Copies of this chain bind each other. A is one copy, B any other.
Amino acid sequence: MFSHQKVLQYPAKPDKPDALFAKKIQEILGGQYGEITVAMQYLFQGWSTRGEEKYKDLIMDTAAEEIGHVEMIATMIARLLDGAPVNEQEEAAKDPVINAILGGMNPQHAIVSGLGPRPADSNGVLWNAGYITASGNLLADMRSNINAESQGRLQVARLYEMTEDKGVRDMLSFLLARDTMHQNQWIAAARELEEKNGIIVPGSFPKELEADGFSHSLLNFSEGEDSKEGSWAAGQAPDGGEFKYESKPKAHGGPQELQPAPQYVYPK
């Protein structure tokens, strides 16, 4: 059960309107690694956690926080759109800056949402649930979370470079900090789980059922042997095995041949 307070976790006030940046910052609202993604991902992970209360609580803490981040960015976008110029042509001929804004803003900010945020990325592509992960395996999901917070913080850092607005930058500095914490916490959680279950996901699949002759070999399918120089080509692997390097990978299966098709699928 959820409840809502009518205050923001952190200020979300731009110094001045900027319809072009409103378009760009949509990426961290409704893009692949935007706040909708992490909010929904953590909700589904939390609701699917079976036992493991400590982890479940951590996930739900963060899920509820992230809905608040969606709220902050949604608010920022609405404020960036205040007074957005929507008419074209006439002024455009006169003022090249307005000109670029008219040409470059997300038209749906004017036509569809009436100066509100859109559940979409910086190109206007609508958010979809193919962006989220909740697998029922805690370590797998911690890794998904580490990735999501890494990609997310990277995008925030890039957006920080793309504006000089102090109010926008202030909010981004907060999101950067929270993404630092979230990377830290998911890494800490993953380390705990790796100690318990081993480094390879899933840890409980019987080793003897795996074709383990293939479990530690780097197969050189791209010409050149630069990859041989890395820590992944020789020495001890993270799971304790011994890395090998196969210069010319062999084919172990036969030809990719199929039986003829039956008449009832009309191959001709």
Complex A-B, nearest 4 residue pairs according to Cβ-Cβ distance, in ascending order: A114-B136, A103-B104, A8-B253, A123-B124
In contact, B135 and A11 (Cβ under 8 angstroms): no
6 pairs of residues in contact across A and B, judged by CB atoms under 8 Å: A2-B2, A3-B221, A4-B64, A27-B112, A137-B267, A180-B210
| Residues of chain B with a CB closer than 8 A to A94's CB | 96
In contact, B189 and A231 (Cβ under 8 angstroms): yes
Q: Which residues of A214-250 have CB atoms within 8 Å of chain B's CB atoms?
A: 214-227, 229-232, 237-239, 241, 243, 249
A106 to B117, CA, bound (A): 19
| Residues of chain B with a CB closer than 8 A to A103's CB | 20, 99-104
The 8 Å CB contact of A210, one of B55, B177, B221, is B177
The 8 Å CB contact of A1, one of B4, B58, B102, B239, is B4
**Known contacts A7-B1, A123-B106, A219-B65: A114-B135 contact under CB 8 Å:** yes
In contact, A119 and B129 (Cβ under 8 angstroms): yes
Report if A78 contacts B (CB, 8 A): yes
In contact, B2 and A225 (Cβ under 8 angstroms): no
How many subunits of this chain does the assembly comprise? Answer: 6
In contact, A147 and B140 (Cβ under 8 angstroms): yes
The minimal Cβ–Cβ distance linking A131 to chain B, given in whole angstroms, is: 6
**Known contacts A11-B253, A180-B200, A220-B61: A154-B78 contact under CB 8 Å:** no
In contact, B89 and A97 (Cβ under 8 angstroms): yes
A216 to B182, CA, bound (A): 8
**Known contacts A79-B258, A177-B215, A181-B217: A238-B187 contact under CB 8 Å:** yes
The 8 Å CB contact of A252, one of B10, B75, B107, is B10
Q: Which residues of A105-158 have CB atoms within 8 Å of chain B's CB atoms?
A: 106-108, 110-117, 119-140, 143-144, 146-147, 150-151, 153-155, 157-158
In contact, B232 and A114 (Cβ under 8 angstroms): no
A110 to B192, CA, bound (A): 26
In contact, B124 and A9 (Cβ under 8 angstroms): no
* Chain B residue, CB-CB nearest to A241: B184
| Residues of chain B with a CB closer than 8 A to A259's CB | 50-51, 79, 82
* Chain B residue, CB-CB nearest to A126: B129
**Known contacts A54-B229, A224-B6, A232-B184: A137-B117 contact under CB 8 Å:** no
* Chain B residue, CB-CB nearest to A204: B268
**Known contacts A107-B122, A124-B125: A47-B78 contact under CB 8 Å:** yes
The minimal Cβ–Cβ distance linking A61 to chain B, given in whole angstroms, is: 5
The 8 Å CB contact of A3, one of B223, B241, B243, is B223
